[in-house]
Structure 1
């Protein structure tokens, strides 16, 4: 018997004996789950995860000291997002034939966790239709906060440089072709190589801006669980810093891609919308699609290996097809829509519903105005030392909205700018932007009766959960000072009466069917500045 075979047999003996000991101690059945790098023993309340003594190139658990270190790292890193789930590292003592948890000379180490039902995993909740949208959006907010607090990679580090970002994607393509027998399309390969060239400047800018941080690194649907009434990410990357010190958008892309792969593009864009509202990282839209394709290729590769090992679950997503789909031009060409309407007319509600249908990026004035002055979206401005609704503050706000819209449009996404747009000069700024970028321009005009407007504003104030700070007094001023749409603007209007049910799918289809007129005329007063 070879040394490696002897070692493997001893390890299997240890795991089997520890399972039997746990069954004896608890008086209940203990199940075993095995992956290529770990064994997990499951009691009714707890999970014990032991790392296999393997060296696989990307991971080195070959020594007891290394396994102890990475158990400790796993607990430390995962407690950032799942503190209640990770109990700690426990020593396995005794012998391989008669192991026990507790005091003595350690022969192995295990990560101890709270056990949860697999039905609570996001990969089970989504196909079953049991995921509540509010919980997904709250998770997006927590992830954005986590990224905001995470340690920033040193500017001189190699993390997330263009070469480091591009190399794993090319490697995944090669391994899919050779090791896994898959055949990425020529268009997909061409797109990847073109994007590696086109995004070099953006990747350097992302690194300099502090977007490269110590993230989760493995944020797919099987690593997010509903526990204690909230979605919680667990099982982050602990064994390879390069897979964890990444652009925050690479973390986001894993989840948006996986939702897309599971047929829930609507949830992907609602999650992305909630993340962007909290983080303000619209610059990340330049690189998001590349990271989504990369994440899809990695999952395709993992899936192929599982098929070969006989461990694949039937009916899972076709990640290679997802990568190919994402790498094509966006499903709908970039286009710009403004909302228009009085406070309480349902602009934000309609924009949120429409972005999910159309796969669009929303930029919300109430949120970006507060961000400029250091306020959170739901924070009230009454105690702020500066009047954030002054004319100067409003000009800064609309300049910010235009900057974010330009970035998202140039990245290839449909964009909805969510604001009242009751002044003609504010509308003109964005009409000019659409003309400059040669994208279709439209206005979503939301209307409701004055009684409904007042009722909604009062209810919104009472709830205190919306970024808008509009009051009945604000509504009265709007009614008195609003500037009507001119004939050119009226030609671009999509009208919605929000005091009756709205067919959002049909509305989205109408918007996405719009194209540029044969000759794009610049509106009067247009300026490239």
Structure 2
């Protein structure tokens, strides 16, 4: 590493006195003016090999390729570094290269979403945009060939196991060592339990060439949109993964930044975009795995530190991620919430805070209805022959809602089903499901004065940006055909007036706990 330290010093002299130097556990990043240059450390670790000049060149080329998928205007090229470590030059004859660098356009300070989170400026709009961007990227990503090793459950189990050695090498005190051992046992048991699901998802094409490192430090807000950068180039096994494992990193990282509500907002927005509710059974495992990856990175950094002043913060960071892993591994208490209310009563808008605060998975009839016809949530169905609102289509929609609900509850996730549920026959199968699984259930009965409902529906229909396409005529039909709650249903119902925003804290004692 010593010759490379001299090379970095030499490059900083060439680039000028204002050059900013950033060091990670596997690379150096030099920031100069409008440019950035990234060099690989000459390391050989259990998950990467940058030991030779040729390997570093290959890694730089791969980094350029995979990141141009999402940030082509940031990743400009690969440059040879020629000359000598004491007097280096960026560019020149590739045959004379002493090292290689990825040349990037430098983005503005504060553009990282991690920085926004640190400033308390990460907003729901950023999260919704991220969900759209990530879902779109994954939809276009290459699918792992059937004969490839990628996405194999046994391989992921080995990667998960690799996280523990650097953490044990820190020689934690007995209590923390016991916690690590319990997490190790939990991961091993979950790996075996989830292996059939992982194989099924792989066969379905859910394993794709993704990002591999989707945390807030690798996500940007530039020119009013979310951007992904710094995908993993050094090990394809860490990039060719189930889409669920990819998004679990961001879900975990939002928790790590003290933003659990935004984590659940992101998950639900991604689920609505993709319809991939089959990812839910593996979510805890993937999130714990991701927390332990970050713990491992911190542990490796601690091992590279020369003095205790630098080593101690890295050890503390590793410990913090282990604590988060234990939190994410803790079983949750599933329960079922059914919305009930006509169009405009606030079923979606008023349950958004609830799903974020309580960590619920929401599945929406309006969204799933459009999915049946290949439509995005906000797309119009006007061009669909025969429309999408027939009774037969509704039967298919509610069958889909019921299946998603069953699978999510059985995976240990509390669920909110967002549909009108004004007909008793539509409510009954969901209530029967909850009873058969022995989970608590509630009916959230939303209502508002008819004049308020009419105005909400009129404005929403005119805007044309919501998944619901109900107009005032639809509302009138709903108002005329509402089935009253049975006595049993009424005993589980919360009657909620939505003329003002719902204060869910006031309803806290009436709702089951998710923890």
Q: Same fold (TM over 0.5)?
A: yes
Greater CA deviation, 338-347 or 122-131? 122-131
Question: In structure 1, what is the equivalent of residue 327 of structure 2?
Answer: 325
Q: How many residues align?
A: 502
What SS does the aligned partner of 2:163 have? Answer: helix
Deviation per CA, 1:16-57: give whole Å up to 9, x if none. Answer: 22221111xxxx611211223222111131111111233224
Question: In structure 2, what is the equivalent of residue 3 of structure 1?
Answer: none
Question: In structure 2, what is the equivalent of residue 111 of structure 1?
Answer: 102
In structure 2, the gaps of 5 or more residues are: none
Matched, 1:19 2:6: no
**Paired residues of 1:180 and 1:305 also in contact (CA < 8 A):** no
Which of 104, 121, 138 is residue 112 of structure 2 equivalent to?
121
Question: In structure 2, what is the equivalent of residue 480 of structure 1?
Answer: 480
**Paired residues of 1:422 and 1:483 also in contact (CA < 8 A):** yes
In structure 1, the gaps of 5 or more residues are: 1-7, 516-529
**Paired residues of 1:173 and 1:184 also in contact (CA < 8 A):** no
Matched, 1:183 2:177: yes
Question: In structure 1, what is the equivalent of residue 223 of structure 2?
Answer: 228
Matched, 1:33 2:22: yes
Greater CA deviation, 8-17 or 293-302? 8-17
What SS does the aligned partner of 2:298 have? Answer: helix
Give 1:13 deviation, angstroms: 2.8
Give 1:507 deviation, angstroms: 2.8
**Partner Cα distance (2:258, 2:216) in 1:** 13
**Partner Cα distance (1:514, 1:230) in 2:** 33
Matched, 1:158 2:149: yes
Question: In structure 1, what is the equivalent of residue 425 of structure 2?
Answer: 425
Which of 247, 250, 271 is residue 242 of structure 2 equivalent to?
247
**Partner Cα distance (1:514, 1:273) in 2:** 16
Matched, 1:169 2:160: yes
Give 1:513 deviation, angstroms: 4.6
**Partner Cα distance (1:150, 1:381) in 2:** 27
Distance of aligned partners of 1:234 and 1:180 in 2 relative to their CA distance in 1, 3 Å threshold: farther
Question: In structure 2, what is the equivalent of residue 522 of structure 1?
Answer: none
**Partner Cα distance (2:164, 2:47) in 1:** 17
**Paired residues of 1:220 and 1:254 also in contact (CA < 8 A):** yes
Question: In structure 1, what is the equivalent of residue 195 of structure 2?
Answer: 200
What's the TM-score, normalizing by structure 1?
A: 0.90
Cα RMSD over matched residues? 2.1
1:334-483 map, 5 Å? 334-483=334-483
**Partner Cα distance (1:228, 1:166) in 2:** 39
**Paired residues of 1:121 and 1:223 also in contact (CA < 8 A):** yes
Deviation per CA, 1:66-86: give whole Å up to 9, x if none. Answer: 222211111110122222221
What SS does the aligned partner of 1:362 have? Answer: strand
Greater CA deviation, 246-255 or 300-309? 300-309
Question: In structure 1, what is the equivalent of residue 87 of structure 2?
Answer: 98
**Partner Cα distance (2:492, 2:510) in 1:** 12
Give 1:230 deviation, angstroms: 2.2
**Partner Cα distance (1:168, 1:260) in 2:** 22
Matched, 1:65 2:60: no
What SS does the aligned partner of 1:195 have? Answer: helix
**Paired residues of 1:73 and 1:238 also in contact (CA < 8 A):** yes
Give 1:386 deviation, angstroms: 4.2
What's the TM-score, normalizing by structure 2?
A: 0.93
**Partner Cα distance (2:203, 2:315) in 1:** 43
**Partner Cα distance (2:171, 2:263) in 1:** 28
Greater CA deviation, 311-320 or 188-197? 311-320
What SS does the aligned partner of 1:408 have? Answer: helix
Give 1:374 deviation, angstroms: 0.8
Distance of aligned partners of 1:55 and 1:172 in 2 relative to their CA distance in 1, 3 Å threshold: closer
**Partner Cα distance (2:107, 2:242) in 1:** 30
Greater CA deviation, 34-43 or 52-61? 52-61
Question: In structure 2, what is the equivalent of residue 518 of structure 1?
Answer: none
Give 1:315 deviation, angstroms: 8.0
Deviation per CA, 1:440-468: give whole Å up to 9, x if none. Answer: 11111111111211221122123222111
Deviation per CA, 1:482-521: give whole Å up to 9, x if none. Answer: 2222222111111211102321233355312599xxxxxx
Give 1:421 deviation, angstroms: 0.9
**Paired residues of 1:91 and 1:109 also in contact (CA < 8 A):** yes
**Paired residues of 1:218 and 1:254 also in contact (CA < 8 A):** yes
